[in-house]
Structure 1
Amino acid sequence: MNRNTALHDTAVTSHSVFGAPCWVSLTARDVEATEDFYRAVLGWEWRRGHMGDRFRVAHADGVPVAGIAAVASMWQVAVAWTPYFAVPSADEAVSRVAERGGTAAVGPIALPPGRTALLADRDGAVFGIWEGELFSGWEVWRRAARTFVRLHTRNAFDAAMFYGEVLDWASERAGCCEVLYDEDEVVLRSEGDVVARIHSGAVEAAPDPAVRPHWRIHFVVPDVDACVSAALAHGGTVAEHRPDRQEAVLRDPDGAQFTVTSRGAG
């Protein structure tokens, strides 16, 4: 049995890990330039997906870990990294977002083997949802992608209520994500792993109106300094470099922002 067959045989659907981040994707303009940059910075190899010439899938050690969708101009959306959360029903999730003051930018649309939508919460932070079979199985993806997500927003507790109601966090449903509080952050755990954090500053501080709410993708890497050097050498920029914290905030040549860190979410 080859590796791809093994992954297919152990496929997991969005019903079994609902509410958890299950994929990250980059809306881009130029597929080839984007491939070159992330190959140099993160060591990814790229393969054409079955969804058309505008789409690519990044692989780490042969496992699908992220996607590129060169649709920023076509869909009139920003060049940005976006986390996708598993849901049992894309239609139901989109309805819940609208009922709670959020918006739907795209979808739901069919992208076999599932359905997806690009949404924004009521403060404007963009996120996606995915219904259907996961690309490489959730546990396999979690181990290979070495990725976690953090929402920077104005009010962490209000945001946690919004996402909790949309994605069934801390509900009575078996298998739902667990919501915890860790100092100044809301922490999301799925099957014992920390998979997301929501941050808005000190608990006693008033919400900061200057904050532009957004989801930040964190990639765990063995050498942050090497990633910084590679980004600069391939047309990227450094928004912030914190050697003391072993992390850096980078922008690719199109301006999409992401974090590289040597520390995990837990």
Structure 2
Amino acid sequence: MNRRPETGTTATASGVTSSGAVFGAPCWVNLMTRDLRAAQEFYAAVLGWRFRPARLGDEFTVATVDGKPVAGISALATSLQVAVAWTPYFAVRDADETAARIRERSATVAVGPVAFIMGRAALAADRDGAVFGIWEGQLYAGWETWRAAAPAWVRLHTRDAFEAAIFYGEVLDWASESPGCCDVVYEQDEVVLRSGGHPVARLSSGALEAAPDPTVRPRWQVHFPVPDVDRCVAAARTHGGSVVSHDPGIQATLRDPDGGVFTLTATTVTTVPTAPSAG
């Protein structure tokens, strides 16, 4: 496959040009929902998020904690005819080329690539049906700010983590010699994705492809570290959410009132990727 030649500067997810760009790593997480205002009220009550407009349009908003970007929420589920879901986005050099790689490997590009003010995005599903996004260009929150704060991390629950790592490696240039790309290491039964030596995602085997329960099918799960899991669980119940699973004091998987599933992990748990230092 022909690729763009490397140049001295490259548009990156941080919104600047840099020869030290990072590619193939998660650069953002986003919830596509039906009712933007209702979603904002729920996540403000459960996680204490505040919201500000994004530069992508009226249907997009950025959630913040102490002024730092955490995640995006967009009212696009109806207009794009996609399921309400939390989705990780991975930084890529070229959205068209990455979309072509996805299709060539018998996976699906459901939406896009679509042009926005600051870049281009596509929504895809891997061969087992796990949904993920790709992003080329500037990111409205700032990649370095988001990565330094480590407000979220992602885990792929899939049928075969090693097979999935090969697919994503071919699509996103994992474990390649390309500048700025991610490394892959194996820890027991998991595949760990590292960017600059820091864990940024994990891939775990065991999901059931044809399971009637969508929470045990192959999927990318978004985790938010919080200081008090149990308080968040109580707030979610109070504000119309439901509990999928709950390990008191450690972790809980919740469903928001519109059906978006996400996981909260106690900040004291040491098995999650640790935040890289800023700068």
In structure 2, distance between residues paired with 1:98 and 1:72? 23
User: Of residues 119, 122, 125 in structure 2, which corresponds to 1:117?
Assistant: 122
- State the distance in 2 between where 1:120 and 1:185 align: 21
Task: Indicate whether 1:88 and 2:96 are aligned.
Answer: no
How far residue 208 of structure 1 moved from its aligned partner, in angstroms, is: 6.8
Matched, 1:23 2:31: no
Larger mean CA deviation between 186-195 and 11-20 belongs to 11-20
% identical aligned pairs: 63
Q: Which runs of 5+ in 2 are unaligned?
A: 1-13, 275-279
* Amino acid in structure 1 at the alignment position of 2:23: F
Aligned-residue RMSD, C-alpha: 1.9
State the Cα distance separating 1:53 from its structure 2 match. Answer: 2.4
For 1:132, the aligned partner's letter is G
Contact 2:15–2:137 at 8 Å: present in 1 too? no
| CA apart distance, 1:149 | 0.2
Secondary structure of the residue aligned to 1:253 is coil
Matched, 1:45 2:50: yes
1 CA distance for matches of 2:98 and 2:17? Answer: 16
**2:259 matched to which residue of 1?**
255
Tell me how far apart the structure 2 counterparts of residues 27 and 209 of structure 1 sit (CA, whole Å): 24
2: CA distance between counterparts of 1:236 and 1:68?
17
CA distance 1:106–1:207, change in 2 (3 Å): closer
Q: Tell me the TM-score normalised to structure 1 length.
A: 0.89
Q: 1:195-241 CA deviation, whole Å, 9 max, x = no partner? A: 0000014xxxx977545110000000111011101111110000000
Secondary structure of the corresponding residue to residue 37 of structure 1:
helix
- Equivalent residue for 2:273? 265
Determine if contact 1:12/1:138 at 8 Å carries over to the other structure.
no
Question: What's the offset of the Cα at 1:91?
Answer: 0.4
Please say if residues 87 and 167 of structure 1, whose CA atoms lie closer than 8 Å, have aligned partners that are also in contact: yes
How has the CA–CA distance of structure 1 residues 160 and 13 changed in structure 2, closer, same or farther, with 3 Å as cutoff? Answer: farther
Aligned pair 1:218/2:218, yes or no?
A: no
Q: Distance in 2 between matches of 1:108 and 1:44?
A: 29
Q: TM-score, normalised by structure 2?
A: 0.85
